[in-house]
Amino acid sequence: MKKGFLLCMVLILCLNAARAQKTYWEVSSYMFENAAQHKGISLELGDGNQLIAYTNNAVTIGNGMDFREILKAFFLNYDVIRDSVNESLSNKLHFFYNPGGKNGLTLIQGKVWSPQYLVVDGKPATMKQGKDTINIYPRNREQQSASVFSFVVNHIEDLRAYLTVNTINDFIEVVNKDIGGQGSTYKPVARGVNFHTFDFQSRFTGTYIIKNGAVEGKLQPVVFRRRNISLSVAASLQNFKSYMTPSFNTSFDLYLKGTSRNEYIRLGAYWEPVFLFDKGMNGKLQTFRNDFAGLIYEYRRSAGNNRLGFYAPISIAYLVRRRGDFFEKNTFNFGIGGIKYGAMTLRPFMYFNDFFRNVSPSVQVSVSWSR
């Protein structure tokens, strides 16, 4: 019994050790590229150096530990390749910090341009062609989501100055206090979406400075509700009774974008000519165009446009131009729900006239542009 208990304890310890030692090098560097596309919370460090914190959860920045320890771990890795770094180039470094486990450092050297030289006091030197960017991702112990700390500095070595001072910790403390003070004014960015996606929207932006040794600044909540008006078109094919009818849909849309990525409401008015083909009295094939004008409401919240999933549009249209005897007078079509994959949709419809008389079910396949 004791041996079995001891064996279980050893197994648990081994599993915990293996989990702690998991490397997070596989986290792609594209996360940093996307982070820079959004405004973050910046701290002016002086001499043209700057720190920008990009957060994906808008609750806190940092991972709860002394940032000086993170910088020590960074330089422990950087010093291994320091002699191979061309300091005259604009280098970019990505550092993944895993508390209690392995850390990963990626170096992307800047493009080599034509060399530029500077002479100071009669001594030649190669001019640096831009600033260095050091992106640090300090993973949390409890969760995978964390902030990206992006240092834009004249030289990588400038970061060593913060190994012995509490400046970065003070910045984190002040920002977290300001975020807590505005807790009722924002919603979390991603509901159930973790850092490993490409959602780097920060709910706050702001600029902080160091004044008389203290960090001062103002945090500004960012509202991501945006309105966008667009014109979209779609080509469709649906069945109506025993006919296969192509159509062309043009809509004027107002998008009300929500507070999280890929969440929006679409309000649209559209015109859709439906084409039917039949032989006339002379036996020749004729085209009969029947025009519908309608309104559409759609709420969509999805993880990505190129994934198969359900979406929930509601549309109703009225027959405004009638040719032939295919549709009765005062005909409507009504559609609700559907399946979407990229630009393609599959939707159920029904046609009816005079308060749901002569109901005919239909299924429509569409390919749209700018929708």
What pLDDT digit, counting tens, does each position of 303-350 carry? 555 678 888 899 999 999 999 888 999 999 999 989 888 888 999 999
What pLDDT digit, counting tens, does each position of 11-47 carry? 555 445 444 444 444 445 555 555 555 678 899 999 8
In eight-state DSSP terms, residue 176 is H
Check: CB of residue 91 under 8 Å from CB of residue 109: yes
DSSP string, 287-353: EEEEEEEEEEEEEEE-S-TTS-EEEEEEEEEEEEE--SSSS-TTEEEEEEEEEEETTEEEEEEEEEE
pTM over 0.85: no
Kindly give, in sequence order, each residue whose CB lies less than 8 Å from that of residue 133, ignoring residues fewer than 6 positions away.
Answer: 90, 91, 92, 93, 150, 151, 152, 153
What pLDDT digit, counting tens, does each position of 198-219 carry? 334 456 788 999 998 899 998 8
What pLDDT digit, counting tens, does each position of 121-180 carry? 777 766 666 889 999 988 776 655 567 899 999 999 999 999 999 999 999 999 988 887
